[in-house]
Structure 1
């Protein structure tokens, strides 16, 4: 494919939620979608950084429709409060872009005691999607886009120690959370299709993109300068999955260049484990138990 920002269809009248919209790929996706007329709900953990990002976009796009809402994916109460607010203010949502994430921090626990990466990257988005699925189903053609990573290839779902109570590896924990993102996206599509829902689920990864996540890593800034593509390029798979007619239900997209590190959006290669139904179903059940959000049945199309 040779899909570029020029190919983004008009988004006028659409409402799109982007988690982590104040920086990196989420910030770039917000700009691209707002420029095409979408009303973007910027779901940000830090309202101060969110306001600064919103002001920056408004300066470049004075007519942009942007609404800032607080959301801390590491706190399930915050997730529920955010979902309640959206139900009070909106009758439908066209796209949920599950973008926010943390990468390779020291061992940290969420409000519920989850390891921070599985808690934020996967469980927070799992709960959020379940709580907003009725609003997505009320749209003519709702979409859930979940951002995974090339790092999913080094991950395993450690059911015997999902929260890293034993020896912690920040990178293996990151890989686990990104594998969980991909497995969730693909299992969600199977369930949506089974239930005849009008919503589709698509997974993406940004390749190797220069974002703030790498800045805190040893040598991160050097590697960004030498090898990474700009974060605006890294946002294109997410925007493609959110808007393009060519995006396949259950698909997985990333940069189409060498080793999927950079380039324009193209079908990506998931690790075989990502399509293991037994592991996916067990992960789903565990995620429901841990979050208290149960997908009893996905709503049918309105």
Structure 2
């Protein structure tokens, strides 16, 4: 009797070396993006933080350097809500190749009113999905120059129970902030899978890889002052939740494995081992609704129209 294949051994505390590689993490100045950058810096790679706020990026770089001796870390200004600036942001990396980008940055609004980007897109959909969609187009020449680059997209467990409304991607008819956020992350996940399909069909050396952090709470996240400070009260109050979810340091593990693990299986994603909510990363089949290639294709076409670019138009 055959058994299901198991993930190869992986130690989150002893990551493989990546000397000579360059990784970009969008939103690398805070949250999961910060911890992904910190962990990737320990591999010997050069890690670039994409951030809108220079002061926050400086704090994040100082924190990483304090914890990772010899860390090669720098920052570039990047505003995913401003599509017109993303080509310049990609050029400002000033590198010959890019071995991976972690599409992590995002906006999450809890309350109305509905807000828009300068280009008139609903803020969360426009930043979380369209911004990364367009950025990937401008990064593709650098990614194609690497031997086996990765476009790692960070989804969300919140997207598991959502479905896209392809006739109202901008939430103009019925705006509910939490739902709009979950749908923006769902759009990112469809994008990752469709990008990978198109790159494979084109014979590209670049792969699209999907990951999500499970349940990751600030209150369970270790302090990294001034990037993040966890009070004793928050730590004690969150103790019961630790049975089900984890901190953002552990939430970064699936993204980091998606960057470093040689395996990039089609139609699967990296997620926490325990119910997809906590624990070390494992590779699992994508959720059933993400296998709908018709939805993915329609979203891709709509995204091309809204951004004016096509990330799949430059095969490696």
Paired with 2:127 and 2:240, the residues of 1 have a C-alpha distance of 29
Paired with 1:156 and 1:240, the residues of 2 have a C-alpha distance of 27
Paired with 1:167 and 1:235, the residues of 2 have a C-alpha distance of 32
Paired with 1:223 and 1:169, the residues of 2 have a C-alpha distance of 28
TM-score (norm 2): 0.87
Indicate the residue corresponding to 1:114 in structure 2.
121
Q: How does 1:202-213 map to 2 (within 5 A)?
A: 202-211=209-218
Contact 2:198/2:312, CA 8 A, preserved across alignment = no
Paired with 2:218 and 2:307, the residues of 1 have a C-alpha distance of 29
CA displacement at 1:221 relative to structure 2: 8.8
CA displacement at 1:21 relative to structure 2: 0.4
Higher deviation after alignment, 221-230 or 77-86: 221-230
Indicate the residue corresponding to 1:282 in structure 2.
298
Higher deviation after alignment, 232-241 or 162-171: 162-171
* 1:177 aligned residue (169, 184, 192): 184
Deviation per residue, 1:218-266 (Å, 9 max, x gap): xx99985532312111100000000012342443111011x21101101
Look up the SS of the partner of 2:279 in the other structure: coil
Contact 2:36/2:253, CA 8 A, preserved across alignment = yes
Contact 2:267/2:285, CA 8 A, preserved across alignment = no
Paired with 1:92 and 1:293, the residues of 2 have a C-alpha distance of 21
Q: Does 1:134 align with 2:141?
A: yes
The unaligned stretches of length 5 or more in structure 1 are none
Q: Does 1:238 align with 2:255?
A: yes
TM-score (norm 1): 0.90
Structure 1 pair 225–268 and aligned structure 2 pair: CA distance change class (3 A): farther
CA displacement at 1:192 relative to structure 2: 0.6
Q: How does 1:218-237 map to 2 (within 5 A)?
A: 224-227=238-241, 228-237=245-254
Q: How does 1:148-297 map to 2 (within 5 A)?
A: 148-211=155-218, 224-227=238-241, 228-257=245-274, 259-295=275-311, 297=313
Contact 1:98/1:147, CA 8 A, preserved across alignment = yes
Structure 1 pair 80–223 and aligned structure 2 pair: CA distance change class (3 A): farther
CA displacement at 1:298 relative to structure 2: 3.3
Q: Does 1:101 align with 2:115?
A: no
Look up the SS of the partner of 2:139 in the other structure: helix
CA displacement at 1:295 relative to structure 2: 3.7
Look up the SS of the partner of 1:5 in the other structure: coil
Higher deviation after alignment, 269-278 or 182-191: 269-278
Paired with 1:67 and 1:233, the residues of 2 have a C-alpha distance of 23
Contact 2:134/2:311, CA 8 A, preserved across alignment = no
What value does the CA root-mean-square deviation take over the aligned residues? 2.1
Contact 1:209/1:234, CA 8 A, preserved across alignment = yes
Structure 1 pair 249–135 and aligned structure 2 pair: CA distance change class (3 A): farther
Higher CA-based Rg? 2
Contact 2:27/2:105, CA 8 A, preserved across alignment = yes
